[in-house]
Amino acid sequence: MKVVIDDKSGFCFGVVNAIQKAEQLLRQGTKIYCLGDIVHNQLEVERLQQLGLETIDHKQYFQLSNCKVLLRAHGEPPSTYTYARQNNIELIDGTCPVVLKLQQRVKKAFDDLKPANGQLILLGKKGHAEIIGLNGQTENQAIIIEREEDLAQIDPNKPTLVFSQTTKSLDDFHRLSAEIRNMVRSKTEIKDTICRQVAHRVPRMKEFAAQHDAIIFVSGQKSSNGKALFNICKSINPNSYFISNKEELQSNELRNFQSIGITGATSTPKWQMDEIAELLKQL
């Protein structure tokens, strides 16, 4: 059996940056909290917890003072920073530079739209940490569009400016953008703010999935990016299997394949894919 790990899979730059910040401080013995799961992969979260990283939610955060808190790559709304300044919390900002720049663009655009009574639209997943952070730049007044049925919220007579969550699929972005252009009669600007490091994984994923008899896709259950990329794998290679840990590996189903590819989401650590590869080689 030939086992190959996709060398283009695994953590994106933003996640690597946040985890490196956490590891550096933890090695120094610094007590730090992380606001939300540092990455949508439970095994990686548990690994860092064993090093001393304590994950908290927003309710817990707004009860803290005099401590250090790591912000993950997804970004945070302004209220998180305001509370930190008021309560002597040192923020270790692991916000992805791509997300941070987008937050700044959204804030400026929202301020510019106010005099014209315009509407700002965010294409993305409702409740996702990045969208919450972006919406915070608009005083939580942005219109969040996740799918077609959400388009009814849009006023077709208002000037409209559209941004996208950085991890939105390009296909979804183009489809929803076209529908917005068709329905809005006023001035409309649509900004493609999708991270290309993530978007370029789609054609690579299709190519990789076609090269092997079977695909093991490794991802945390919470990762929306993982679910989207797995569906792409499955559409190209029906023998694609989604697993979150090595215990879910169904070795009996894989014994007859000559070539198995291992890949994952932008939130999947390489050590986890290496672990799966070693198990497969033992077959």
pLDDT digits (tens, 9 = 90+) for 157-176: 999 999 999 988 888 999 99
Tokens 């070693």 label which residue?
A: 278
Both 190 and 106 in one domain: the answer is: yes
Q: What is the pLDDT of residue 235?
A: 96
Q: What is the pLDDT of residue 42?
A: 92
Instruction: Assess whether 189 carries a catalytic annotation.
Output: no
Q: Are strands 89-93 and 119-123 parallel, antiparallel or unpaired?
A: unpaired
Q: What is the pLDDT of residue 223?
A: 85
Give pLDDT < 50 ranges for the chain: none
Both 107 and 189 in one domain: the answer is: yes
Both 178 and 235 in one domain: the answer is: no
Q: Which of 23, 44, 46, 130 is catalytic?
A: 130
Both 169 and 132 in one domain: the answer is: yes
Residue 137's nearest CA partner among 86, 79, 192 is: 79
- Per the structure, the count of domains in the chain is 3
Give the pLDDT confidence of 45-54 residue by residue, as tens digits.
999 999 999 9
Task: Identify the domain containing residue 28 by its residue range.
Answer: 13-96
Q: Are strands 2-5 and 33-35 parallel, antiparallel or unpaired?
A: unpaired
Both 147 and 205 in one domain: the answer is: no
Q: Which residues are annotated as a binding site?
A: 12, 40, 74, 96, 128, 166, 195, 223-225, 267
- Give me the amino acid identity at 41: N
SS3 at position 254: helix
Q: Which residues are annotated as a binding site for isopentenyl diphosphate?
A: 40, 74, 128, 223-225, 267
Both 129 and 161 in one domain: the answer is: yes
CATH number at 65 reads: 3.40.50.11270
- Give me the amino acid identity at 196: R
Both 61 and 146 in one domain: the answer is: no
SS3 at position 278: helix
Both 90 and 125 in one domain: the answer is: no
